[in-house]
């Protein structure tokens, strides 16, 4: 029996041990799905707090309730470790580590390189290694494969390698790991076959593509599509402001067209782990080929400037009240990058707070999901409790993140001036004067 067939059989009868590297918003939900599918799962993360929490059956990810995680841990189907040595017994390893940008907007591949090197050190015959971290086209061939080939393995015969981009959308009530189609591209047809067998055991729909580079490009197209369209609608908001037109009315009317239009909405800027970051991976790769990704660069320019546009709105609104930004008491409402999550990575709220602080405002924030944030000077700011006394004392409240838990009518009733970057209160009437994008 071939090595490939032995692994396929182990996957089919759930005897295979599944390894997950990185137990964050991508890795933990994936680990839970595999454990629920009947696999014994070993998670590895360098953060001891995450490992200890998981081994106690306590979830630290909003999309995974403790009530769902705990039975899997107690039954022995899911456990975690800080050492890659625990993966020696694994038959498959899915790498789900961060891929941030450097300050120069070049890819920071250090987490991927460290993880692949660690996996290569414990890799054995018959193992499947899948990279899930979003990255530039060619990463699997240029970083993963060479490190495995130093062990003398024949890819597609001794070991199997694939890329399968994560498609996690935190706080999405409809689509999770199981019912979101999974793209898989193997380094050889045999690699694709094995990777499809792994993921089809826990995910409803698998979409095989020809190779890892194609799979890498799929993810970048998805998020570049969103970044460019958000950039377009943000520029539309700027143009509507110049023309004295309500951009929200324009969008709401346009989306009644049953074909050829998909609504996107303006906001204070891009945030999160994907949309502000991923297109730059593609742009960086193309620069090496002497090609400028013009749509990506332009969209980034527009989206990056949106926090400054919000500050302009705040400044003008305060001027209308015969007040300066300096020494004004301003509350930023919501600092997470999107509604109903606790993630502040790349959040435009951080830029809004920074810009207001530089202008001399007395800035505080409230976010029920984010207890504290790190500012650009490496100091911390903690969330201020929302009270009537606070709302009544404000010179301006700036809505950056429209969490569902907020009582918008009460906020409008208790506040004098609201700058609304999310169209959260435009249809409400109360004491507040509301200024929208």
Which residues are part of the catalytic machinery?
274
Of 405, 272, 263, give the one whose Cα is nearest residue 344: 272
Residue with tokens 């040595």: 85
Q: For residue 379, what are the contacts with CB-CB under 8 A and spacing of at least 6?
A: none
CB 340 within 8 A of CB 402: no
b/e map 10-20, b = 16+ CB within 10 Å: bbeeeebbbbb
Q: For residue 206, what are the contacts with CB-CB under 8 A and spacing of at least 6?
A: 181, 182, 184, 196, 199, 200
| Cα–Cα distance for residue pair 433/145, rounded to 1 Å | 59
Residue with tokens 């990575």: 345
b/e map 332-352, b = 16+ CB within 10 Å: bbbbbbbbbbbbbbbbbbbbb
The string of DSSP letters for 423-437 reads -SSTT--SSSEEEE-
| Cα–Cα distance for residue pair 349/75, rounded to 1 Å | 42
| Cα–Cα distance for residue pair 60/49, rounded to 1 Å | 10
């Amino acid at each position: 029996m071939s090595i490939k067939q032995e692994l396929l059989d182990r996957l089919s009868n759930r005897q295979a041990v599944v390894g997950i590297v990185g137990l964050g918003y991508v890795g933990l939900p994936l680990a839970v799905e595999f454990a629920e599918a009947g696999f014994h799962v070993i998670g590895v993360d360098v953060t001891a707090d995450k490992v200890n929490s998981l081994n106690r059956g306590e979830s630290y990810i909003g999309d995974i309730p403790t009530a769902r995680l705990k039975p899997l841990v107690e039954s022995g189907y899911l456990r975690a470790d800080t050492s890659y040595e625990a993966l020696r017994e694994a038959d498959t390893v899915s790498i789900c580590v961060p891929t941030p940008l450097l300050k120069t907007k070049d890819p920071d591949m250090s987490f991927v390189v460290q993880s692949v090197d660690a996996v290569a050190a414990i890799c054995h015959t018959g193992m499947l290694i899948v990279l899930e971290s979003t990255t530039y086209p060619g990463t699997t061939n240029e970083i993963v494969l060479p490190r495995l080939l130093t062990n003398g393995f024949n890819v597609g015969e001794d070991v199997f390698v694939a890329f399968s981009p994560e498609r996690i959308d935190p706080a999405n009530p409809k689509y999770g790991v199981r019912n979101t189609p999974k793209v898989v591209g193997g380094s050889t047809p045999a690699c694709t076959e094995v990777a499809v067998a792994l993921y089809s055991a826990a995910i409803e729909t698998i979409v095989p593509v020809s190779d890892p580079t194609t799979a890498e490009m799929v993810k970048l197209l998805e998020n570049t599509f969103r970044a460019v369209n958000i950039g377009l609608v943000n520029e539309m908001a700027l143009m509507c402001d110049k023309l004295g037109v309500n951009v929200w009315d324009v969008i709401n009317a346009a989306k009644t067209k049953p074909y050829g239009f998909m609504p996107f909405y303006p906001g204070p800027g891009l945030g999160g782990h994907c949309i502000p970051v991923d297109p730059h991976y593609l742009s960086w790769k193309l620069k090496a080929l002497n090609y400028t990704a013009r749509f990506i660069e332009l969209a980034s320019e527009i989206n990056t400037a949106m926090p400054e546009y919000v500050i302009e709105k705040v400044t003008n609104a305060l001027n209308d009240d015969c007040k300066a930004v300096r020494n004004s008491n301003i509350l930023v409402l919501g600092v997470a990058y999107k509604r109903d999550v606790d993630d502040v990575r790349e959040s435009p709220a951080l830029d809004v707070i920074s810009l207001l602080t530089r202008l001399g405002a007395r800035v505080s924030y409230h976010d029920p999901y984010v207890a504290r944030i790190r500012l650009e000077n490496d100091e911390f700011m903690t969330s201020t409790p929302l009270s009537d006394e606070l709302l009544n004392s404000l010179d301006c409240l700036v809505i950056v993140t429209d969490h569902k838990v907020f009582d918008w009518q009460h906020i409008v009733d208790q506040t004098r001036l609201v700058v609304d970057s999310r169209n959260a209160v435009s249809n409400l009437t109360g004491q507040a004067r509301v200024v929208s994008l």
